[in-house]
Structure 1
């Protein structure tokens, strides 16, 4: 009987480092604290150090620290501490920017451009208020522009820190962000954001339900997005995720886009193989360059296979990605799912390495 492996190894490389960087030293002190009181003390020291770097706009030590931390747990500790500092004005009400990720699954047989602004954004804001995502009476609202993820990532942590203390400046900054229309020439999965701001009273909880389940408002928002972006000859399936403060929204949006893209890839390839009368085999593998790779193929067929690449970001969970993939395969009634138990090479010669049904037979793999 084949040994069961529920996930893949994590291919990301973490090298133990001497804590010469102040932020690395403090992050590891938070992790290694003997008790909750010591942890709180070191966390306060870390927050103070981060505040100093942000106030001086000295981002290089922060970038070095994030790049050289020795584990994902350490990365998450520093990232969360940075997020807490960025998202709070220590001197009064916080002007908090937030974003609602939109994954757009779209296709067109001819070159087409989807609008970069939503003509019905007032209806979307009203709907979110009606469903309690925005608390009654608060000043939360989303802008009409579809913002590209690279544009949002361009607002660095020091800028976010200062904007939290300057509501008018935040409004001007968000207003100046360029809209990003979606260029279609075939099919694709695209990520955009609707961006807004809200005032959070000192010491109070935000009046926006950040990170909550989409639930009842998802379908009506989808209908409004379709109404705003609809064009003849275009197929469009917009998927909204819950709004979150900007740093968290960028992480959640990236994950959501990859989740949907993997689902679109796999379902299309499974359907194509079954139309040829062939039963699909799904394979997942981890690679030395920090990628997960997925293929859907069939034994004895060297031509009709396709692959999907998931470049792992620092906060991605390999276990979550693989669990979702296995669940997707179960939903698609693919019974032969194989997981490579060790980290594979990036390339074979000059060609990126992908495993298909004939390369990875069941005896050497995991079957679902």
Structure 2
């Protein structure tokens, strides 16, 4: 059995034109009806993007009556933003998610993720055909955080797609540096932001979601070398370029997943060094969260918790599978998955379930 999904979606609002069209698509009884509904939805999306009305879009996503409806509306929004516009050329914005696993050898250290030399990075990506070898390209040295990327609303991205004519200048928006403080080992998420010109008669000049097998490690080394400091351990883990909306979601998911792996390995190592038996508890909680605890079977005072806030696009089943596989790989024999949604709070504190107040699975 899997974890229950603690998310609660609102009822269908037929007065919302986007929700109405999405439900028409999802309930269509034949191909013609579905095709007509898809075309109507895409036309409404283009109209609201052109009118610079992000509030309507945000309301529609917020009011999606199911995860299926949210996913469909989000995918159609991406389709409208990413499909070629009928013109001889257009600027294609993209983001490269980069996980930064950092730790300070003593105390705390501030890390400012600004790259010093973009030329070898661009050369590497072009040599592996991730980016086309063109002068009509910009890759910013100042990496951005998730909040900044998410602040670039769909209507703003639409304006860039329809009005930008010079990819080499980059996006017409300024962003602040996104420093973070490194102390004990933790995972940070940053993005490299780029723009590249796409001519209508040529292949797409950026390989979206390109497999990083051959170029990922050299790129990681280039980034790590440019951000290194005395007393700082830093490992960069880059992903393939992605459209801006997709990069925000996949980057967030990757950071939470890497954070869980870091949490699990550190805690399990501590328990075993102390001669204690680790117990993993995986539970869904009110408030749209999954909470995962590692506690010592022999000592109720020794435990740590990890929180995964659920986004509407997140798959609870996938997170469950990955967490169980992680603990099995770490040779944790006692993995307890709770099959009912748990309370958010208990006695005024967030509720984390542990070895002493749960029972082994199958008991």
Matched, 1:213 2:208: no
The counterpart of 1:72, out of the listed 62, 67, 70, is 67
Preserved contact between residue 186 and residue 262 of structure 2 (Cα < 8 Å)? no
Matched, 1:95 2:94: no
| RMSD of equivalent CA atoms | 1.9
Query: How far 1:304 sits from its partner (Å)?
Result: 1.0
Secondary structure of 1:283's counterpart equals strand
Rate the CA distance shift 1:103–1:148 in 2: closer, same or farther, 3 A.
same
For residues 8 and 140 of structure 1, the distance between their equivalents in structure 2, rounded to whole angstroms, comes to 45
For residues 252 and 197 of structure 2, the distance between their equivalents in structure 1, rounded to whole angstroms, comes to 26
Unaligned runs of 5+ in 1: none
For residues 337 and 298 of structure 2, the distance between their equivalents in structure 1, rounded to whole angstroms, comes to 19
Preserved contact between residue 139 and residue 170 of structure 2 (Cα < 8 Å)? no
Q: TM-score, normalised by structure 1?
A: 0.92
Partner of 1:132 in structure 2? 129
Partner of 2:346 in structure 1? 348
Secondary structure of 2:194's counterpart equals strand
1:146-295 mapped onto 2 (5 Å cutoff): 146-168=143-165, 171=169, 173=171, 176-202=174-200, 206-295=204-293
Query: How far 1:214 sits from its partner (Å)?
Result: 1.7
Query: How far 1:154 sits from its partner (Å)?
Result: 1.3
Matched, 1:36 2:31: yes
For residues 203 and 22 of structure 1, the distance between their equivalents in structure 2, rounded to whole angstroms, comes to 36
Q: TM-score, normalised by structure 2?
A: 0.94
Preserved contact between residue 174 and residue 195 of structure 1 (Cα < 8 Å)? no
Partner of 1:53 in structure 2? 48
**Segment drifting more, 169-178 vs 339-348:** 169-178
For residues 37 and 119 of structure 2, the distance between their equivalents in structure 1, rounded to whole angstroms, comes to 45
Preserved contact between residue 282 and residue 293 of structure 2 (Cα < 8 Å)? yes
Residues matched between the structures, number:
360
Partner of 1:359 in structure 2? 357
Query: How far 1:267 sits from its partner (Å)?
Result: 0.7
Preserved contact between residue 276 and residue 298 of structure 2 (Cα < 8 Å)? no
Partner of 1:304 in structure 2? 302
Secondary structure of 2:215's counterpart equals helix
Partner of 1:117 in structure 2? 114
Preserved contact between residue 87 and residue 94 of structure 1 (Cα < 8 Å)? no
Secondary structure of 2:358's counterpart equals coil
Query: How far 1:89 sits from its partner (Å)?
Result: 5.3
Partner of 1:329 in structure 2? 327
Unaligned runs of 5+ in 2: none
Query: How far 1:140 sits from its partner (Å)?
Result: 4.4
For residues 47 and 204 of structure 1, the distance between their equivalents in structure 2, rounded to whole angstroms, comes to 25
Rate the CA distance shift 1:339–1:203 in 2: closer, same or farther, 3 A.
farther
For residues 50 and 308 of structure 2, the distance between their equivalents in structure 1, rounded to whole angstroms, comes to 35
